[in-house]
Each structure stands twice: as C-alpha cells, then as structure tokens.
Amino acid sequence: MRPGSSRLFKSLSFCCSFLITLPLSAQPILEGDRSVPAEARKGMVVTSHYLATDEALKVLEQGGNAIDAAVTAAFALAVTQPRSGNIGGGGFMLVSSGKKDDVVAIDYREKAPAAASRDMFLDSEGNADSDLSRYSHRAAGVPGTVAGLALALERYGTLSLADALAPAIRLAEEGFVIPPRFSDGIRSSAERLKQFESSRKVFFKPDGSFYEPGELFVQKELAATLRRIAEQGVKGFYEGETADLIVAEMQRGGGLITHDDLKNYEPSVRKPVHGSYRGYDVYSMSPPSSGGTHVVQILNILEGYPIADSGPNSARSIHLMAEAMKRAYADRSQYLGDTDFVEVPLSGLTSKDYAASLREGIDPDRATPSESIRPADPVPYESNETTHFSIVDQYGNAVSNTYTINFSYGSHIVVDGAGFLLNNEMDDFSAKPGVPNAYGLIGGEANRIEPGKRMLSSMSPTIVKKDGRNFLVTGSPGGSRIITTTLQVLMNVIDHNLNIQAAVNAPRIHHQWLPDELRIEQGISPDTIALLEGMGHKVVQKPAMGAIQSIMVAEDGTLYGGADPRRSTSSAKGL
Ligand code: GLY
C-alpha cells in the first residue's frame, strides 16, 4: 500500500443524516498525483453499513485509492450485510479517475449456467413458475462478485487481494456486534431461510432461535471461504474446495451450476453509457444493465422542460417525470438485454432527437394511460435488495459500485460449508415474454434466457462530471426503482440545487409504465397528490424506495456525503 500520512488528520465520523463538508484542493487531484501535499488529501466513503464504511476509510487513511477502498468495502459488506452484500452474486462498478471521458465500467453481473434454457422456469402448462425462478437452486446465476472485485483491484488498485480481504476475514472470524436492522431482516425472512438446512445453520442459533441485537455474529465457514480467496486468488472461489462446495450444493438441490460454469466465468470491462444533462456529463451503467440507458433517456426527455421553475416534488414536476419514466420503461421491456447476445439500440434510446420525439407525445396537463403507450421507435440497431456504495479518494478518483444477490438474502440458500448465500438473479431474465418479474417489470425476447447470457438489470451506478472533474457519485438498490431513485437525486442536485443530503432524503416517486400507477413515498403533500389525480394519475403510496449513497464534490473540492436514512446502518464518513 502507498505510504500515507493522513492518519495525522482526525477522522470525522457521522451517521447517516449529517452533512459532511471537508475542504479539498481547488483543483482535481488526479491518479497518482504526489504533488498534492499530504495535508490536502482527503477522501470520503458512503455505504449502507458503518463497519464497511470504517474499513474502507482506513484504507484511504493509509494512502490507498478509491478502488482499494471499494474492494475492501465490498468484501466487508459480504460479511456484515449478508442480505445484499455478497460473494454469491454480482454487480457493476464505475471507476473514474477524474479526467475527462475517463470512466470505465466493470461488469461482474452473474451469467446463466451453460445448461440454462429459455423455458426452464415454465411449468407443464407453460406458465412461469416464480418459486422456481426465485427460491430454488436453479434461481442462481454463476456468481461474478469475486472475479469482478479481483479485476478491479488488479487493474486500478494498489492493494493485494489478500489485504483487501483481511478486514472481511477478521469480521467473519471474530464476529461483529449485531445491529437491529440485521436481526429484523432475518426475522422477516425466517420462514424461507429455515427451509434450507444450510441457511438455518448460519442465520439461527443451534436451537433455532434468533440472534439478537447486541450479540456477536460469527461466520467461521465464510471466513474460511474468504481465506481461500486471499490465499489462492480467484481460483480460491471458482476452483478447488469452494467450487466443489458450490457444485455439491447444486447437485443436492437440482441446480445447474457446474465446475465448468465457475471456471469459465469472466467479468467484462465495458464503456459506460454517456449522456449530458444541462451541461453536466452523466456516466452510468451500460447493458446488461438497463440503468444507465434509461437514466440518460429520462433526463434527455426532461431537459426540454423548465423543471427548476416547477420546483422539487411539485405536481407539475412529478407529472412530467412520471410521463418520461413511463415511456422509458416501455422501451426497456422491448429493447434491453445483454449486448453480448442481442443488439440494443443504445444510441437511439439515448439520443436527444429521440427524447424530443417522445416529448411530443407528452400532454403537459394530462397523464397518458400506460395502455396507450407502447415501446417507441428509436433509431434502430447500430449495434429489493441490492446495495450501493460511493467512494472518492484523495487522488481525485471515484468509484460508484452497486452489487446484489437480487432479493434480500437472494435465493435464501447458503452454500453448505462455504457460508455464503446464492443469488436468485435468474428471475431477472424474462421467464416468459410479457410476464412480469418480481419487480413487476415486463421483459421481452431481448432478455430471454440463454446459456452464458447475463440477465437484464436496473442497477445504475452513476458518476456525473462537470467540466471533466468528478461532481456527483451515486447509486442505489431498489430493483425497478433504482433507475428513478438515481434520476431524482441527479435532478434534486442539478435542477433544484438541493444539497446532497436533502437530495437523498427528499420523498421519491416512481412510475414504470406497467402497472399504470404513480408510486410515491410518504411526504408528498396532499394538495400535490390531488393535483396529480386531477391530471389522471393513479397515485399510490408505497414503502420507502431505494437507499442511495452519494458523494458530491463541490467546485472548490469540498466533499459532501449523503447517506440514505432509509437504511438505519447507512453511514457517510470522511477523512
Ligand atoms: N436484481 C435487480 C437488478 O439487477 O436490477
């Protein structure tokens, strides 16, 4: 690790609802820029768990960069927040060095096993069997997290994999004190977790009772699995003992993942989707996520309206946002899939001209019924639990990472003897065109199941730049609501000039075309709701949406962290 002297500086620790302001150099500090005096080097970490934030912050304090801190945080979350932090799932990481146009996307999304087939989740009558696609061994895609994090570290980091894993191994081996959110989560998923003996052994005491807040949670088998990765690199997961345990688990439960599937898994480095919004450059995740494409598409539509004049969460703003969202989600159902397998009209979907044509169909005073919206015609092919963290380091690098095992606790199946949960990401494929997945999202042929293909995602890790320097680092969990949650934080900052914590806290809305309902969180005023209903919207109040973890870098280099209070363990801390 790079030697660092920032331990000289007192680490500032705040919980989720505090704004953090730390002066940085007025100029962006680029990768490896040692001319910046040590005193000026600062960094910030925002994750959904304070223990992961602490471990990542220590890496920055010791001179590591944002990628070192990100990989450390991801492994720590796999231990401290097993409902979504993972080594049994996959995700996406955006890395930006702070130089113009210098953003890369690491795609470590799970892949369908080689034995997967298009109709594997249909019953004898041809109906989609959601229990099979969500809570069975067949629900698991080939995990990508370990390979993706190792690749990120190898290309862009300075730490060894063993060093990045060390805090996670310690937390698993020695245990950590259970916060209320941890035990609440297990209570609410107890019935399903107890269906699998391997999961019961990990998440419940030997007599079947619950672990309670304040007690220590120790995961010896997970520690041993992590240690094998530390000692053998990615082979410690995709081959040898861990691979044997995964394959044995598959064979016990009729799953499809084989030794070859594991050995053949490779992450991809991709070009992120790039768009612009009112003079800001927006970089977000490209397919196999739909996230970046539709964040940019919705922003393009909304750029044609004076949103700032309507104000945050006014009926006028919400109406226009909902109309833009509906049209984007209709296109999602038709066009989006893994670009290694299908052509996606990316430039068309993200073009300003296409946005202008969609805008023409929007009535400024009336909701368009979803049934009369169809996927439109972009320029043709030229080619509920997840977790996000954002990190900015003292060298000006930024990382925006979202990873997941799909549902809370994924398939609910722990790999016996290896101590980690398997994802149920296969449900993100379209089991049958036109039949909604767990998030109510309709998929089409482009997202049908094929061996080795990556299932469509909504994850939208995003980095916004202003004049070439990192400005906003953000992203969220929330299934189909990830796209709209991310969008609203961008708009709250860019259009409405809210500070980052206010932008994160503000009540959210969501429309995904089908079902035809405008979802709102609590906090939207009754008179706004009445105005929206008067325009023809069916407004329904839903539980909190997303848990966005964000950092804003002000023009003078000041770092502002906004952790989402919708997760009680969220934490933003800076050097
Ligand atoms: N599993 C949710 C997503 O990837 O969008």
Can you read off the two tokens belonging to residue 460? 């939208």
Count of residues in the chain: 575
- Asked whether residue 396 is marked as a ligand-binding residue, the answer is no
For ligand 1, atom 2, the nearest C-alpha belongs to: 479
- For the chain, what is the radius of gyration of the CA atoms? 22
Residue 31 has pLDDT above 90, yes or no: no
Asked whether the beta carbons of 365 and 59 are under 8 A apart, the reply is: no
Q: What is the rounded average pLDDT of the residues 330-336?
A: 95
How many A from CA of 257 to the centre of ligand 1?
Answer: 20
Range with the poorest average pLDDT among 264-268, 405-409, 419-423, 441-445 = 441-445
**What's the distance, Cα to Cα, between the start and end of the chain in Å?**
17
- The whole-number pLDDT of residue 90 equals 98
Residue 428 has pLDDT above 70, yes or no: yes
Q: What is the rounded average pLDDT of the residues 72-100?
A: 94
Asked whether the beta carbons of 421 and 139 are under 8 A apart, the reply is: no
Range with the poorest average pLDDT among 252-256, 411-415, 466-470 = 466-470
Q: What is the rounded average pLDDT of the residues 506-513?
A: 97
pLDDT in tens, 212-226: 999 999 999 999 999
380 pLDDT tier (thresholds 50, 70, 90): low
For ligand 1, atom 4, the nearest C-alpha belongs to: 457
100 pLDDT tier (thresholds 50, 70, 90): low
Contacts of 75 (CB under 8 A, 6+ apart): 87, 149, 164, 165, 167, 168, 226
- The whole-number pLDDT of residue 473 equals 98
Q: Which of 107, 108, 385, 386 to mutate to test the pocket of ligand 1 (most atoms within 8 A of CB)?
A: 386
- Rounded-to-integer distance, Cα 12 and Cα 376, Å: 49
For residue 384, give the ligand 1 atom closest to its CA.
Answer: 2
How many A from CA of 311 to the centre of ligand 1?
Answer: 30
Residue owning tokens 């259009």: 495
For residue 407, give the ligand 1 atom closest to its CA.
Answer: 1
How many A from CA of 174 to the centre of ligand 1?
Answer: 32
Question: Which DSSP helix (H) or strand (E) runs through 541?
Answer: strand 539-541
Percentage of the chain surpassing pLDDT 90?
86
Residue owning tokens 């280099």: 557
- The whole-number pLDDT of residue 435 equals 84
- The whole-number pLDDT of residue 437 equals 84
- Rounded-to-integer distance, Cα 302 and Cα 464, Å: 17
Would you call the peptide bond into 515 cis, given omega within 30 degrees of 0 as the criterion? Answer: yes
Residue 203 has pLDDT above 60, yes or no: yes
Asked whether the beta carbons of 65 and 397 are under 8 A apart, the reply is: yes
Q: From the candidates 47, 80, 293, 386, give the one annotated as an active-site residue.
A: 386
Higher-pLDDT residue of 435 and 253 is 253
Residue 25 has pLDDT above 80, yes or no: no
For residue 291, give the ligand 1 atom closest to its CA.
Answer: 5
- Rounded-to-integer distance, Cα 159 and Cα 149, Å: 12
How many A from CA of 421 to the centre of ligand 1?
Answer: 16
Question: Which DSSP helix (H) or strand (E) runs through 207?
Answer: none
- The whole-number pLDDT of residue 218 equals 98
- Longest C-alpha distance within the chain, in Å? 69
Contacts of 377 (CB under 8 A, 6+ apart): none
Q: Which of 427, 439, 510, 512 to mutate to test the pocket of ligand 1 (most atoms within 8 A of CB)?
A: 439
Residue 228 has pLDDT above 90, yes or no: yes
Q: Which of 295, 426, 482, 545 to mutate to test the pocket of ligand 1 (most atoms within 8 A of CB)?
A: 482
- The whole-number pLDDT of residue 379 equals 67
What does the mean pLDDT of the chain come to? 91
How many A from CA of 1 to the centre of ligand 1?
Answer: 34
Active-site residue 386, yes or no?
A: yes
- Asked whether residue 65 is marked as a ligand-binding residue, the answer is no
Residue 79 has pLDDT above 60, yes or no: yes
Residue 540 has pLDDT above 80, yes or no: yes
**Phi–psi pair at 226, nearest 5 degrees:** -65, -35
Range with the poorest average pLDDT among 38-47, 252-261, 478-487 = 38-47
Paired sense of beta strands 273-277 and 280-284, if any: antiparallel
- Rounded-to-integer distance, Cα 428 and Cα 571, Å: 29
556 pLDDT tier (thresholds 50, 70, 90): confident
Q: Which residues pair with 274 in a beta bridge?
A: 283
Q: What is the rounded average pLDDT of the residues 124-148?
A: 96
3-state per-residue secondary structure call for 312-363:
CCCHHHHHHHHHHHHHHHHHHHHHCCCCCCCCCCHHHHCCHHHHHHHHHCCC
Sheet holding 509-510, edge to edge: 509-510, 518-520, 539-541
- Asked whether residue 457 is marked as a ligand-binding residue, the answer is yes
- The whole-number pLDDT of residue 116 equals 98
Q: What is the rounded average pLDDT of the residues 537-564?
A: 94
Q: What is the rounded average pLDDT of the residues 546-568?
A: 94
How many A from CA of 91 to the centre of ligand 1?
Answer: 9
Would you call the peptide bond into 206 cis, given omega within 30 degrees of 0 as the criterion? Answer: no
Higher-pLDDT residue of 323 and 556 is 323
For ligand 1, atom 1, the nearest C-alpha belongs to: 406
Q: Environment class of residue 10 by beta-carbon count within 10 Å: exposed (0-12), middle (13-18) or buried (19+)?
A: exposed
pLDDT in tens, 290-306: 999 999 999 999 999 99
- Asked whether residue 428 is marked as a ligand-binding residue, the answer is yes
Three-class secondary structure of residue 407 per DSSP: coil
Higher-pLDDT residue of 39 and 5 is 39
Range with the poorest average pLDDT among 177-186, 369-378, 486-495 = 369-378
For residue 459, give the ligand 1 atom closest to its CA.
Answer: 5
Which protein residues touch ligand 1 with a CB less than 6 Å away?
Answer: 386, 404, 406, 425, 428, 457-459, 479
- The whole-number pLDDT of residue 506 equals 98
Percentage of the chain surpassing pLDDT 70?
91
Q: Which of 385, 404, 426 to mutate to test the pocket of ligand 1 (most atoms within 8 A of CB)?
A: 404
Range with the poorest average pLDDT among 138-152, 215-229, 424-438 = 424-438
For ligand 1, atom 3, the nearest C-alpha belongs to: 457
29 pLDDT tier (thresholds 50, 70, 90): very low
- Rounded-to-integer distance, Cα 199 and Cα 29, Å: 46
- The whole-number pLDDT of residue 546 equals 96
Asked whether the beta carbons of 475 and 364 are under 8 A apart, the reply is: no
Residue 58 has pLDDT above 60, yes or no: yes
Q: What is the rounded average pLDDT of the residues 496-501?
A: 97
- Rounded-to-integer distance, Cα 409 and Cα 397, Å: 31
- Asked whether residue 458 is marked as a ligand-binding residue, the answer is yes
- The whole-number pLDDT of residue 384 equals 62
- Asked whether residue 337 is marked as a ligand-binding residue, the answer is no
How many A from CA of 428 to the centre of ligand 1?
Answer: 7
- Asked whether residue 155 is marked as a ligand-binding residue, the answer is no
Range with the poorest average pLDDT among 93-107, 231-245, 323-337, 386-400 = 93-107
Nearest to 67, CA basis, from 313, 394, 359: 394
Q: What is the rounded average pLDDT of the residues 24-43?
A: 43
Three-class secondary structure of residue 114 per DSSP: coil
Can you read off the two tokens belonging to residue 192? 């399903």
